[in-house]
Amino acid sequence: MRRNLRRKTLFIFYGALNVLITNIFLQFLLIIIPIIYATLASQIFNFLFGFYFYGKKVFKIYALTKRHLFKYILLNILVWNLNWIVIEQISSYGLSKNISSLIIILPLAIFSYAVQKTFIFRN
């Protein structure tokens, strides 16, 4: 039980740091390039930061394998697609792309944590 609480706390810490940096980058990109490219670029940054920190620091996987990497890449492709499609959908109702991207941060983070815990970095 304590391990699960610690894992969630670490995920929140590293996730908040990752979300903050990634979304500052995304917010800037949404102003200057189309949504699909802005979300791709921010997802690549999120991937590079997240694989190491979530795998090693949150889920305590000391030997990250190609299998972990492959699964994490699949998750990132899925999250990227969800991100840009949902931003497109929400902004089609007249909301700005930037506000739309902020609305979906928490649902995507919860989804990502669940997939990482049960599929990618499970012990």
Q: How much is the pLDDT for 123? A: 66
Read off the pLDDT of residues 95-105 as tens digits, 9 standing for 90 and up: 999 999 999 98
Read off the pLDDT of residues 83-120 as tens digits, 9 standing for 90 and up: 999 999 999 999 999 999 999 988 998 899 899 989 99
| Token pair recorded at residue 68 | 């972990």
Read off the pLDDT of residues 6-61 as tens digits, 9 standing for 90 and up: 877 887 888 788 888 988 998 999 999 999 999 899 989 888 888 988 888 888 89
Q: How much is the pLDDT for 100? A: 93
DSSP 34: -
Query: Element (H or E) spanning 55, and its range?
Result: none
Q: Residue 80 is part of which domain span?
A: 2-120
Q: How much is the pLDDT for 29? A: 94
| Total domains present in the chain | 1
What predicted TM-score, i.e. pTM, was given to this entire model? 0.81
DSSP 5: H
Q: How much is the pLDDT for 82? A: 94
- Where helices occur in 33-104 by DSSP H, the ranges are 35-52, 66-91, 97-103
Q: How much is the pLDDT for 1? A: 64
| Average model confidence (pLDDT) across the chain | 89
